Amino acid sequence: MEATSCLISFFPPSLNKLTLTGCGILDHHMNEIGKLPNLQTLKLEFGYFQSGKWEANDGEFCQLQFLLMENLSLANWAADDTHFPRLEHLVIRLCRYLEEIPLAIGDIPTLKVIEVRGCNPSAVASARAIQEAQLDVGNDDLQVRILGY
């Protein structure tokens, strides 16, 4: 794990796209990645969160527009609309342990699409709840796509 931590701290600040596949992710790794000032696309694939949770912090992922979370061992995700202020597209695939998508994600003004495929039924229900909450406040631009396996 120490080698992974060292590599993450050496990502250049100009990096705008990052794909991590098959990695063990510690909480501080996400904090370091979140501080990359130009990161617009983040793909997390086939990895595990050692703590099983991801708590986004203020001032992180300020430029992120596209987030893919695929086949992760993530159970709890805590975030709100201030943590991903420019997010446009959220894709969550095969995250069977994810209990819910944070409701406040729907309040991100730039968010256009949430796509959920092959996830825990409670995560699917939270995606539907986000869509309903946005429709209730007159935001019919947000597309929520629920896809089977």
Q: Which residues contact 28 (CB under 8 A, 6 or more apart)?
A: 5
Is residue 149 scored above 70 in pLDDT?
no
What does the angle CA 140 – CA 146 – CA 148 come to, to the nearest 5 degrees? 165
pLDDT tens digits, one per residue of 89-147: 999 999 999 999 999 999 999 999 999 999 999 999 999 999 999 999 999 999 999 99
The enclosing domain of 82 has a CATH number of 3.80.10
**What domain range is 26 assigned to?**
2-147
The closest of 82, 88, 39 to 66, measured between CA atoms, is 88
Backbone angles phi, psi at 113, to 5 degrees: -140, 135
The closest of 64, 11, 74 to 42, measured between CA atoms, is 64
Number of folded domains that form the chain: 1
Is residue 24 scored above 90 in pLDDT?
no
The helix/strand count (H/E) of the chain reads as: 3, 10
Residue 9's pLDDT band (cuts 50, 70, 90): low
